[in-house]
Amino acid sequence: MSSGDISRALRRVAHEVLEHNKGAADLVVLGIPTRGVALARRLAGVMESVEGTAVPVGALDVTMHRDDLRRQPTRSPRHTEIPAVGIDDKVVVLVDDVLYSGRTVRAALDALSDLGRPRAVRLAVLVDRGHRELPIRADHVGKNLPTAGSERVSVRLSEHDGIDDQVTISGGQSR
């Protein structure tokens, strides 16, 4: 995916979210660190340009809710930033860069339940690569990318990497 592909995918996802929600009312967009936060900000910006109203955006750290902490205990928690409107009775759109096993999303749902009770939770991802280990699916997908389990899919964004693109590295460690 080139920078233009990423931009078009986010624009399409933004329109899908707004159409499903019948506008921007009661939406809160939360990105899952690291790249999900940058994508959430971009997504909220597109929705604001379409609707003419600001969409609250924040970040949801899932570190302490992951089920692999015993195997990888050296993770440092990131910052959770919930918009002032909160999440109670809101439609929360969780945003991540790559959906793979579903374990990060499960952790995000656990983290979200510690913070409040949204009316609904929807999932938007830039890339869905398949290989789910949990019964989780994205509501909004920028690109479906069938991969082998041995491949690793990395998304690079200008906010973190200085360039927008998606990279598939064969034979890498699965994510």
Residue 112: CATH number of its domain: 3.40.50.2020
Whether residue 175 lies inside any domain: the answer is no
Cα 58 to Cα 166: distance, rounded to the nearest angstrom: 23
Q: Which residue has the higher pLDDT, 166 or 46?
A: 46
CA distance 34 to 97: 9
Q: What are phi and psi of 7, to 5 degrees?
A: -60, -45
Q: What is the pLDDT of residue 47?
A: 98
Residue 22 has pLDDT above 90, yes or no: yes
45 occurs within a structural domain? yes
Say how many domains are in the chain.
Answer: 1
pLDDT at 73: 60
Q: Is the pLDDT of residue 161 over 80?
A: yes
Exposed (0-12), middle (13-18) or buried (19+): which is 49, by Cβ within 10 Å?
exposed
Segments of 47-174 assigned E as strands: 57-59, 91-99, 120-128, 140-144, 152-156, 165-169
Residue 174 in any domain: the answer is: no
How many angstroms separate the CA atoms of 38 and 160, rounded? 8
Q: Are strands 140-144 and 120-128 parallel, antiparallel or unpaired?
A: parallel
Task: Report pLDDT digits (tens) over 69-104.
Answer: 667 666 677 789 999 999 999 999 999 999 999 999
Record the pTM.
0.91
15, part of any domain: yes
pLDDT category of residue 175 using cuts at 50, 70 and 90: very low
User: Can you give the residue range of the structural domain that contains 148?
Assistant: 3-169
Residue 174 pLDDT grade (very low, low, confident, very high; cuts 50, 70, 90): very low
Instruction: Examine residue 109 and state whether it is found in any structural domain, yes or no.
Output: yes
